[in-house]
């Protein structure tokens, strides 16, 4: 009997794998115009050899497909070329592992996120960190340092690149490892030493006696590097 379309062999139980749904020889399964994508052999019954895929098995799996532990197993799908075990190189993604991690991600399988303290690119489409190791491409936000900008400024330092020092007039914590000012903006955390005022303890309060009245007067609001006009100059 004649097998239905796409079948061949005894009792018509075997599937033809000819190109473009072409009929195969009913008795042998031979395909006059070759095999469908991903298959080879006289009867087109064999899948592509290891690390090859596609029409005629003429394409190679990308080098970035992660290799399986077994040497007799292919790293990509024999039909589509899709990597079966993920990407070999850190920082890549996609079905064929040819795409760099998307904006804001990096690492193996692009599962890691760039630090929020990385300075953003001026181009809204670009990532703030390297797709492989997560290093910040445009530096760190104020108060942070390090390749990935996850480290706060060391004790006594603040600002961009941690290049500024806390005011000497910031009051100190009982814990010597605790900074006297905030690592981002330098505001004194525990108030000011005696005589200094302001968020940065950069103002000084003077207490004077008026020669006319003999009363104690408070003249406030001068910066430490300026003299009040009522103060005598020695």
What share of the chain has pLDDT > 70, as a percent? 87
* Residues forming beta bridges with residue 51, ordered by sequence position: none
Tokens of 128: 């703030």
Q: Mean of the pLDDT values across residues 24-44? A: 89
Cα dihedral sign, 77-81-84-85: positive
The pLDDT value recorded for residue 233 is 40
Please state the pTM of the whole predicted model.
0.69
The pLDDT value recorded for residue 20 is 79
Cα dihedral sign, 159-165-170-171: positive
The pLDDT value recorded for residue 206 is 58
């Amino acid at each position: 009997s004649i097998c239905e379309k796409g079948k061949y062999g005894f009792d018509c139980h075997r599937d033809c794998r000819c190109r473009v749904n072409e009929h195969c020889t009913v008795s042998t399964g031979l395909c006059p115009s070759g095999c469908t994508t991903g298959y080879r052999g006289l009867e087109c019954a064999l899948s592509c050899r290891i690390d090859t895929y596609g029409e005629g098995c003429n394409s190679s799996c990308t080098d970035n497909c992660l290799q399986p532990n077994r040497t007799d197993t292919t790293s990509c799908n024999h039909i589509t070329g899709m990597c079966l075990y993920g990407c070999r190189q850190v920082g890549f993604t996609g079905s064929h592992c040819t795409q760099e991690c998307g904006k804001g991600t990096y690492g193996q399988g692009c599962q890691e996120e760039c630090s929020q303290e990385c300075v953003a690119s001026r181009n809204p489409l670009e990532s703030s960190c390297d797709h492989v190791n997560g290093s910040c491409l445009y530096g760190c936000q104020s108060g942070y340092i390090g390749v990935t900008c996850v480290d706060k400024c060391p004790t006594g330092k603040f600002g961009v690149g941690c290049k500024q020092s806390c005011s000497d007039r910031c009051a100190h914590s009982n814990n010597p490892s605790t900074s006297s000012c905030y690592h981002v903006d330098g505001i004194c955390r525990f108030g000011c030493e005696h005589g200094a005022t302001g968020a940065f303890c950069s103002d000084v309060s003077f207490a004077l006696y008026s020669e006319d009245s003999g009363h104690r007067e408070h003249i406030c609001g001068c910066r430490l590097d300026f003299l009040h006009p009522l103060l005598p100059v020695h």
